[in-house]
Structure 1
Amino acid sequence: MIDLSQKDLEQLEEKGISKEKVAAQIETFKAGIPFVKLVKAAVVSDGILRFSNEEQNEIIQYFENFRGGLELLKFVPASGAASRMFKAMFNFLDAYDSSKETLSEYIYRTGDKAVKRFTENMSRLPFYKLIMDRISGKAKNKDEEAYLFVQEMLMSDGLNFGFYPKGLLPFHKYSSTSATPFQEHLKEAALYAKTDGEANLHFTISEQHDEMFRREHLAVSPNVAKATNTEFKISYSNQKPSTDTIAVDMENNPFKNSDGSILFRPGGHGALIENLNDQDADVIFIKNIDNVVIDENLETVANSKKMLAGVLLKAQTKAFEYAKTLESDSVSSQQIEEIKIFLENELNVRFSGSYASKSLEEQLSILKDSINRPIRVCGMVKNEGEPGGGPFWISDADGNVSLQIIESAQIDLSHEQQAATLKNSTHFNPVDLICGIRNYKGEKYNLLDFVDAKQGFITEKTKEGKELKALELPGLWNGAMAFWNTIFVEVPLVTFNPVKTVNDLLKPTHQA
């Protein structure tokens, strides 16, 4: 057991973290987290479903037929701050002086393509007029105007967008108004997450942004409610302090701050499995806050979501029937084989080579364990070279094969065959999930029982000039859902429009 002082124990108690949890995390640092072993990329017809237009319409109709009797929820991870979005612009403010060089000289000298694109296209940004009105008459020339524009956009005595949560920035400019991602998510929810005129949404946000979200909620939801004839029930939660992870020094001892306290760091988006576990609904739609579309693409996105929800409901209906069958006293060998085929073909479950030689009782136990799990249906888009995770068949230390969403950081890229498998992947994870979190009796699963703790990340950082190791929890749609039953479905590229940098707002998909 680790040696903790009375002060350390008080700190743990305050955060709601047990001594055992800290000890387990330190053991993880000592053992290291092994790379994931890719077996092959999931592709269409081997891990990814692709439906014709006719099939999609039939599945959408299936969802619509059952929708009235379902509890639906839209779950939106929204704690991301916009500071990273503006990284290049903050650098520009530090590095450029219009009294010493022209803007074109600066761009030529630094090769800064981001600033070039931004300054050449500022007029297409959704907040262009707002900022120009605020800096009107202050600039001597166009170069100084560009600098003042960025300054007004980011600094605390201006609009302070650098501090904003991403979800509350103006993303889309319509004829007389602009819309934030928060507002766009409400419009979407009205199309596919509404039952009896009511749509439930849950946003996970940073504590420092609580008040800002509530203000936006009051400002925009009445108008969207009126336009879409929807009553919005909106709830919020923050990442729990108990999901923070301990940082260690290079000898794997707790890293101490200058005041003697232990350094804990946020556990990453994987911590949100706790927030998700606090929710309950028949169908939960998950989508990141910055992935929104302009009005003209709303219907396509809504149909894609309904199609994924229909796939979930169809699979779940069968899974529930079979789960019930497995509980009965007399299950025939024919039924056992039928259930096994369903699990393999429709829920992508893979059984070990020793399954066939096991007794009937052992086979029943394996089938029960395999079928009584939460189900996730994940949209996958064709890979257009975006960085990030993708769908793969992987093998664990015991040789068990499963379908997972894997990030490139989890893969040993120095291993030729693993790097080649990554390169051969055809699809990309846009974070587009539909979740079924209840069993056949209607009881909610404890989602924390289905996390693979071995799929976290260890990274090296520095604090106050000292090196440390940090632990990121298994990602929400990666290791945190590793032991769910998984279905991947190809969805249109238009459903994936994340805004990672401010220049992404210049893409056609964000120009209304």
Structure 2
Amino acid sequence: MLTQEDKVLLGKKGITEQQMQEELAYFESGFPYLKLEAAASIERGILVPEEKAVEEYLNAWNTYKQADKKIMKFVPASGAASRMFKNMFAFMDADYNDPHTDFEKDFFAHIHCFAFYEDLNKVCIKNEGKDVDTLISEKNYKAVVADMLQEKGLNYGNLPKGLLKFHNYEKGSRTAMEEHLVEGALYTAGTNREVNIHFTVSSEHVKLFTELVKEKAPIYAAMFDVNYNISFSIQKPSTDTIAVDMENKPFRVDGKLFFRPGGHGSLIENLNDLDADIVFIKNVDNVVPDKLKDDTVKYKNLIAGVLVSYQQKAFKYLNILETGKYTHDLLAEMAHFLQHDLCCRKPDIKTLEDTELAIYLYKKLNRPMRVCGMVKNVGEPGGGPFLAYNPDGTISLQILESSQIEMNDVEKKSMFQKGTHFNPVDLVCGIKDYKGNAFNLLQYVDKSTGFISQKSKDGRDLKALEHPGLWNGSMSDWNTIFVEVPLNTFNPVKTVNDLLHPQHQG
């Protein structure tokens, strides 16, 4: 039973009682596994354009950028960097004082290579009265780490990745956020030289992001002859989800209902609020220095060119369908485009009469569209590309996490393990329809594809619920195209030592 205090809390968050009851029901029932047809591959569903087609797609994007369209870059940047420093937090808590693990040894052996080294050196001098090299020579390793992680120093253990210095340059160093400003200038600016970038951030970090943009954006605006429009939003409190105890009863702290952030799938609400025709989506930590940006920019332009080319074709067909002036042969052409190019198949499509087929084609073509870069599988964790069944019996391309696949089924597990590609979170999305109206993206979410995980709060076990992932269930009912992109366009920074890899060194 909900108390009056519970109802007030729900009201403040903007969560309805029905919404909470639906979430509680998922804890009881769990989320169903998706029915798979096959892993997507170059033979089935992943496009690898030939050289001539690549040039055509690049030209298509260049032409599109000259039109009066709003292009935006969307960067989820709220995640704290604490996991990036997990190994160094462990070193701080360890019962030994010298570097012991290979990770710890690598960190200290190459400490001068980090883009944040100069800043770290300054705070060590300020706080310890000694520079980094002196502290290391005296075997005072933990003082160095404390000044890197803790609030008294750089506070990197509590900041989001976007605010950390990733790369060194002759004229200084850049944060991950700055690298996204540079990328935005390189592939989103059209004839008006406007660069629109939207970051989703935590409420406690809005001020820090805003200050950094105020300081740095004018520098890159002059460097690339662009005008930046930088905006921020936070994950909405209404997308928080109720936590439960191990008996699936609402979890309470001091008598109050306990809610947790609903995962990155909640950001579909933030994306839905944007006013843009085309939106690029990329994780905040997947950036490289300028010397390696050529491939990143080329393939961003390529997948955008694929999107606008396919979108223009879909728009042409939708305009024809709206008039009602079509032939049987033209409907067959549209059906081939939907089934072959967009890989959205209806097993019994040949049984439909022309009028039924026209209605079906209109419904399926008139949806948000996304192109997702796929890299060859090298054992990295992440979502994989699959052909999966939808609730209406159609089969389409989906990005799935392992938790959505029934691993107890030998056939399904084999599909997952033999997958040739995975999704590095490299998307470009068309979020307006053929009439220029914004889609309501919330209508295209498959709510039955969430995640349940076990967490703890103050030493007590709880179960947490995450909304369907942003590029998983939250985009389930979109038209989807997969395009192979090179592995060198995927350079995430999951641990601090990843910054020592050659692709992150100047």
Could you say which TM-score interval applies, normalised by the shorter chain? Answer: over 0.9
Structure 1 residues not aligned, in runs of 5+: none
Match of 2:119 among 127, 130, 139: 130
* Cα distance change on mapping 1:55 and 1:397 into 2, 3 Å: closer
Distance (whole Å) between structure 1 residues aligned to residue 487 and residue 197 of structure 2: 24
Q: Quick one: which amino acid aligns to residue 34 of structure 1? A: P
For 1:450, the equivalent position in structure 2 comes to 444
Report the 3-state secondary structure (helix = DSSP H, G, I; strand = E; otherwise coil) of the residue aligned with 1:85. Answer: helix
What is the TM-score with the length of structure 2 in the denominator? 0.95
Distance (whole Å) between structure 1 residues aligned to residue 269 and residue 136 of structure 2: 52
Distance (whole Å) between structure 2 residues aligned to residue 384 and residue 16 of structure 1: 42
Q: Quick one: which amino acid aligns to residue 75 of structure 1? A: F
For 2:252, the equivalent position in structure 1 comes to 256
Q: How does 1:45-444 map to 2 (within 5 A)?
A: 45-69=43-67, 70-98=69-97, 102-103=98-99, 107=100, 112-136=101-125, 137=130, 139=134, 142=137, 144-195=139-190, 196-258=192-254, 260-353=255-348, 355-396=349-390, 399-444=393-438
Matched, 1:491 2:490: no
Distance (whole Å) between structure 2 residues aligned to residue 321 and residue 141 of structure 1: 66
Note the C-alpha offset of 1:463. Answer: 2.4
Q: Quick one: which amino acid aligns to residue 489 of structure 2? A: T
**Which stretch shows the higher mean deviation, 45-54 or 226-235?**
45-54
Distance (whole Å) between structure 1 residues aligned to residue 475 and residue 183 of structure 2: 25
Report the 3-state secondary structure (helix = DSSP H, G, I; strand = E; otherwise coil) of the residue aligned with 1:144. Answer: coil
User: Is the CA contact (8 Å cut-off) linking 2:6 and 2:256 kept in structure 1?
Assistant: yes
For 1:40, the equivalent position in structure 2 comes to 38
Note the C-alpha offset of 1:183. Answer: 0.6
Report the 3-state secondary structure (helix = DSSP H, G, I; strand = E; otherwise coil) of the residue aligned with 1:150. Answer: helix
* Cα distance change on mapping 1:157 and 1:11 into 2, 3 Å: same
User: Is the CA contact (8 Å cut-off) linking 2:135 and 2:143 kept in structure 1?
Assistant: no
Note the C-alpha offset of 1:145. Answer: 4.2
Report the 3-state secondary structure (helix = DSSP H, G, I; strand = E; otherwise coil) of the residue aligned with 1:441. Answer: coil
Report the 3-state secondary structure (helix = DSSP H, G, I; strand = E; otherwise coil) of the residue aligned with 1:474. Answer: coil
User: Is the CA contact (8 Å cut-off) linking 2:75 and 2:200 kept in structure 1?
Assistant: yes
* Cα distance change on mapping 1:182 and 1:141 into 2, 3 Å: closer
Report the 3-state secondary structure (helix = DSSP H, G, I; strand = E; otherwise coil) of the residue aligned with 1:267. Answer: coil
Note the C-alpha offset of 1:92. Answer: 0.3
User: Is the CA contact (8 Å cut-off) linking 2:72 and 2:278 kept in structure 1?
Assistant: yes
What is the TM-score with the length of structure 1 in the denominator? 0.94
Distance (whole Å) between structure 1 residues aligned to residue 263 and residue 197 of structure 2: 21
State the 4+ residue runs in structure 1 displaced beyond 6 angstroms: none
Aligned residue pairs total: 498
* Cα distance change on mapping 1:441 and 1:216 into 2, 3 Å: same
Q: Quick one: which amino acid aligns to residue 65 of structure 2? A: R
* Cα distance change on mapping 1:508 and 1:25 into 2, 3 Å: same
* Cα distance change on mapping 1:76 and 1:306 into 2, 3 Å: same
Q: Quick one: which amino acid aligns to residue 511 of structure 1? A: Q
Report the 3-state secondary structure (helix = DSSP H, G, I; strand = E; otherwise coil) of the residue aligned with 1:454. Answer: coil
**Which stretch shows the higher mean deviation, 310-319 or 25-34?**
25-34
Q: Quick one: which amino acid aligns to residue 185 of structure 2? A: A
**Which stretch shows the higher mean deviation, 265-274 or 47-56?**
47-56
**Which stretch shows the higher mean deviation, 42-51 or 477-486?**
42-51
Distance (whole Å) between structure 1 residues aligned to residue 102 and residue 408 of structure 2: 30
Distance (whole Å) between structure 1 residues aligned to residue 375 and residue 135 of structure 2: 47
**Which stretch shows the higher mean deviation, 177-186 or 33-42?**
33-42
* Cα distance change on mapping 1:142 and 1:13 into 2, 3 Å: same
Distance (whole Å) between structure 1 residues aligned to residue 267 and residue 209 of structure 2: 18
Report the 3-state secondary structure (helix = DSSP H, G, I; strand = E; otherwise coil) of the residue aligned with 2:448. Answer: helix
For 1:29, the equivalent position in structure 2 comes to 27
**Which stretch shows the higher mean deviation, 44-53 or 262-271?**
44-53
Please list the CA deviations of residues 374-403 of structure 1 after superposition, one character each: whole Å capped at 9, or x if unmatched: 000001111121111111112246643221
Match of 1:475 among 459, 469, 473: 469
Note the C-alpha offset of 1:499. Answer: 0.6
User: Is the CA contact (8 Å cut-off) linking 2:373 and 2:424 kept in structure 1?
Assistant: yes
Q: Quick one: which amino acid aligns to residue 95 of structure 1? A: A
Distance (whole Å) between structure 2 residues aligned to residue 396 and residue 56 of structure 1: 31
Distance (whole Å) between structure 1 residues aligned to residue 242 and residue 3 of structure 2: 15
**Which stretch shows the higher mean deviation, 460-469 or 244-253?**
460-469
Report the 3-state secondary structure (helix = DSSP H, G, I; strand = E; otherwise coil) of the residue aligned with 1:380. Answer: strand
Note the C-alpha offset of 1:147. Answer: 2.5
Distance (whole Å) between structure 2 residues aligned to residue 460 and residue 90 of structure 1: 22
